[in-house]
Amino acid sequence: MPDIGDDLREQPAAADPAGPPAPEGGAARGGGGVLRRVRDEFLRRREASVLVVALALGAYFASASEAFLTRDNMVNITQAAAPGAIVACGIVLLLVSGEIDLSVGVVAALAPFMMHYAIDFWGVPAVPAILLALLTGTLIGLGNGLVTVVLKVPSFVTTLGTFYLVTGIVLTTSGAYPAEVPAPVDNAIGQWLGAASWAHLGWALVIVAFFHVLFTRTRWGLHTIAVGGNLLGAQEAGVRTGRIKIGNFMIAGTLGAFAGLMEAFRVHTIDPNLGGGTGLMFTAVSAAVIGGTALAGGSGTIVGGALGALVLAELQDGFNLIGISANPYFVILGGAILLAMIANVYLSRLRRAGRTR
Confidence of residue 222 (pLDDT cuts 50, 70, 90): very high
pLDDT at 334: 83
Residue of higher predicted confidence among 217 and 357: 217
H-helix or E-strand containing 175? none
| Backbone phi and psi for residue 83, each to the nearest 5 degrees, phi listed first | -60, -45
Pick the most confident of 131-140, 298-307, 311-320, 336-345: 131-140
Burial of 146 (0-12, 13-18, 19+ CB in 10 A): middle
State percent of the chain over pLDDT 70: 85
pLDDT at 32: 65
Confidence of residue 294 (pLDDT cuts 50, 70, 90): confident
105-114, 185-194, 269-278, 312-321: which has the minimum mean pLDDT? 269-278
**Taking residues 306-314, what's their average pLDDT?**
94
Residue of higher predicted confidence among 235 and 274: 235
Cα–chain center distance at 329 = 20
User: If you average pLDDT over every residue of the chain, what do you get?
Assistant: 86
Cα–chain center distance at 206 = 12
Residue of higher predicted confidence among 59 and 2: 59
pLDDT at 1: 42
Confidence of residue 214 (pLDDT cuts 50, 70, 90): very high
- In the chain, the amino acid numbered 211 is F
Cα–chain center distance at 31 = 34
Q: What is the pTM assigned to this prediction? A: 0.86
Residue of higher predicted confidence among 76 and 6: 76
pLDDT at 41: 64
pLDDT at 355: 52
| Number of residues assigned to the chain | 357
pLDDT at 42: 62
Confidence of residue 155 (pLDDT cuts 50, 70, 90): very high
Residue of higher predicted confidence among 10 and 96: 96
71, 230, 296, 300 from 197: Cα distances, Å: 10, 43, 37, 30
The dihedral formed by the CA atoms of 246, 252, 253 and 254, expressed in degrees to the nearest 10: 110
Residues 6+ apart with CB under 8 A from 292: 46, 47, 49, 50, 299, 300, 301, 304, 340, 344
pLDDT at 342: 77
Confidence of residue 18 (pLDDT cuts 50, 70, 90): very low
33-58 pLDDT, tens per residue?
777 776 666 656 778 888 888 999 99
Dist CA 327 CA 339 (whole Å): 19
Confirm if 109 and 263 have CB atoms less than 8 A apart: no
184-197 pLDDT, tens per residue?
999 999 999 999 99
